[in-house]
Amino acid sequence: MNKQRFAILFIFILIIIDQITKIYVKLNMYLGEHNYYLGDWASISFVENEGMAFGLSFGGGIGKLLLTFFRIIVVIFIAYYIRKQIQTKHANYLFVVCMSLIFAGAVGNIIDSVFYGKIFSESTPSEIATLFPAESYGTWFKGRVVDMFYFPLYNDNLPEWIPFVGGRYTEFFPYIFNVADAYITVGVAILLLFQNKILK
């Protein structure tokens, strides 16, 4: 299999996995529901956000729309860049894997933003969403991104002997993320760790 076909197949599989996890959570969990496993430091926790990192948002509806279009432009550029590098034979397989992870992660969250507002009903703490409802919760390009993985790892008061912050309640990595976010993080991390091998 050549690198271009490998990239297309790999990206397709990654996006399918991302969307299966999000749709499953959306159709089976209440907004804000937590299902704990491995003790208190790991859970599937259903939250939604406007699509920015760490649940941030800006500019209301217009800001959401601009963010979605900006992401689409970035994804088009990444697709062009991957194809160009493969065609010029500058890309090894590790490079293709990293860029495919980043591309698939970006596309996965774009799908939420573009389609979810129109194809799902509202998720609430007392009502589970339905697919293709009579009344959707939003419009095209204004959907919310589904997040679910929560790994606080440590959430307790710090020991008193630690200077300045001793005794203070601390939660290590309080962010909730999805599969697409993980793709982007892993892709960037591999690029940084193995840049000498990848970017010859």
Active site residues: 147, 181
Q: Sort residue 32 into left (φ over 0), alpha (ψ -120 to 50) or beta.
A: left
Helices (H) and strands (E) in the chain, counts: 6, 6
200 C-beta neighbours (distance < 10 Å), count: 9
CA–centroid distance for 158 within its chain: 30
State the DSSP string of 59-90. SHHHHHHHHHHHHHHHHHHHHHHHHHHHHTT-
Q: Is 192 exposed, middle or buried (0-12, 13-18, 19+ CB in 10 A)?
A: exposed
